Amino acid sequence: ARRKRARLRHQPCGLRELEVSVSELGLGYVSDETILFRYCSGTCEAAARIYDLGLRRLRQQRRVRKEKVRARPCCRPLAYEEEVSFLDSRNRYHTVSELSAKECGCV
């Protein structure tokens, strides 16, 4: 198990997919339909820039304290799926846009 975790930790940032029911998303929609949910996951260590190193050092020196800063790149979607439609338990259609990732990158 530990080996597996270690391997997962070093997976580079990319698309993963999960088959979930609409209700599981917890958006308030009640529907048994399943959708393919694609999300971004993985490490971004290789994408760090000198900006990140500098910011980290400044934070250590307490020069940057008040605000929330992010001193490492983050694996996020660069593009989203247009639309997903589904029928809910009261026989009404809903269309949600940008629910699922299409392309990932370190930003």
Partner 1 sequence: EAVLGLYFSRDTYSEKLYIDEPVGTPLLYVHALQDARGEVPHFRLGQHLYSTYRSQPHKNDWFQINEDTGLLYLNQSLDQRALEKLSARNGGFPLLTIYLQVFLSPKPLRESDCHWPSCAKVMLSVINTTMPACSSLKPREFCFLETGLSFRIRENKPPGTFHQFRLLPVQHLCPNISISYQLLGEEALPFYSDKDTMEVNMRHSLDREEKEKYELIAKCTVWEGLREEVVMVPFPVTVYDEDDSPPNFPNGINTANAVVEYKRKEGTVLAVLQVFDADVVPSSVDIPRKYIHTMLTSDPLVNEFFRVEHSPNETSYNSNGSRVRAMMHDYKLVLNRSLPITESHSFQLGVLVNDTDYQGPGGVLHLYFNVTILPVSIRFPNISYSFSVNRNAHRYAQIGKVCIENCKEFHGVNITYKLQSLSVNCTALGIITTPESTTGNLFVNDTSMLQRPECTGMKYLVIASDRQSKKQSRTTSTISVEGNFFPEEEGCPISCAVNKRRSECEECGGLGTLMGTCQWRQGDGKGISKNYSTCTPSLKTCPDGNCDAVESRDLHICPQDCIRGDIIGGHERGEWRGIKAGYGVCNCFPEKKKCFCEPDDDKEPLCDEVCRMVI
Chain residues binding partner 1 by CB under 8 A are: 27-30, 94
Residue 25 Cβ, how far from partner 1 at the closest point, in Å? 9
CA within 13 Å, CB half, 45: 5
Q: How far apart are CA 41 and CA 65, in angstroms?
A: 28
CB of 28 to partner 1, least distance (A): 3
Considering the complex, state which of residue 74 and residue 78 has its C-beta at the smaller distance from partner 1.
74
* DSSP per-residue codes, 2-15: HHHHHHHHTPBSEE
Query: d(Cα 99, Cα 30) in Å, to the nearest integer?
Result: 16
As a whole number of angstroms, the distance between CA 27 and CA 90 comes to: 16
Minimum distance from CB of 58 to partner 1 (Å)? 19
